[in-house]
Amino acid sequence: MAIGTEGDWTERFADLSAVSPEIRAELLARSDLIRIPRGSVLFEPGQQPKAMVILLEGTARVQQRSETGREVSLYRVHGGESCVMTTGCLLASEAYSAEGIAETDITAIAIPNAVFDDLLSRSKEFREFIFHSYARRLTDLFVLIEDLVFKRVDVRLAARLIALAQDDGVVKATHQNLATELGTAREVISRTLHDFQKRGLVEQARGEIRITKPEPLRRLAQS
């Protein structure tokens, strides 16, 4: 993990525009810019968070792993966002219950625990920034839960393929990658993709899937 400088990073966040000059100066002086390479483990179950992390650039994936080794992607954190699990753990003084992975190289701001607690108690505007971010991420989690419980796998898989497809219609993902994304078993994904292929919606090759009929697949995703 590398540490550097980033100038006034608070200008990138509209929700921080209302903080006082004093609080802004403290945020800049008491936080650290960190750079984390792709593939790094950001946190693991049982670890205590040492700082609130706000991403400036890059993408992190937060996932849950069962005792049998099955993985479920809970959400992603992109530039301009914070991690709801880290925030929740800081607020409750609890350890992580999931795993965070850097999907790309990441540039982020780390606000140490003591600074987080201090500014949270002193600044109404900083509290609003934290809780607004927290609420937005919780909404995303509720959508994920709704999808897992109520939507058919074929509908969710169609939507995910459309979202992941490159301009040429190719999705660079294995069956296991898609199973992790959708919180199901690899065998379920394989059966569903085999059905899609029989219907002429996709073609499969090693490590990739080509969408051959995007409109019918899009209609299925919206059903």
Which among 168, 173, 153 is positioned nearest to 220, based on CA atoms?
Answer: 153
Per DSSP, what are the bridge partners of residue 45? none
Q: pLDDT at position 12, please?
A: 84
- Residue segments in the chain with a per-residue pLDDT below the cut of 70: 1-6, 67-69
Alpha carbon 102 to its chain's center: 10
The alpha-helical segments, DSSP class H, found in the chain are 21-30, 84-92, 113-122, 124-150, 153-164, 175-182, 186-198, 214-221
> Which H or E run contains 205?
strand 202-205
Q: Is 205 exposed, middle or buried (0-12, 13-18, 19+ CB in 10 A)?
A: exposed
The tens digit of pLDDT for each residue in 70-85 reads 778 888 899 988 888 9
Q: pLDDT at position 8, please?
A: 85
Q: pLDDT at position 141, please?
A: 74
pTM above 0.85, yes or no: no
Q: pLDDT at position 3, please?
A: 47
Q: pLDDT at position 69, please?
A: 67
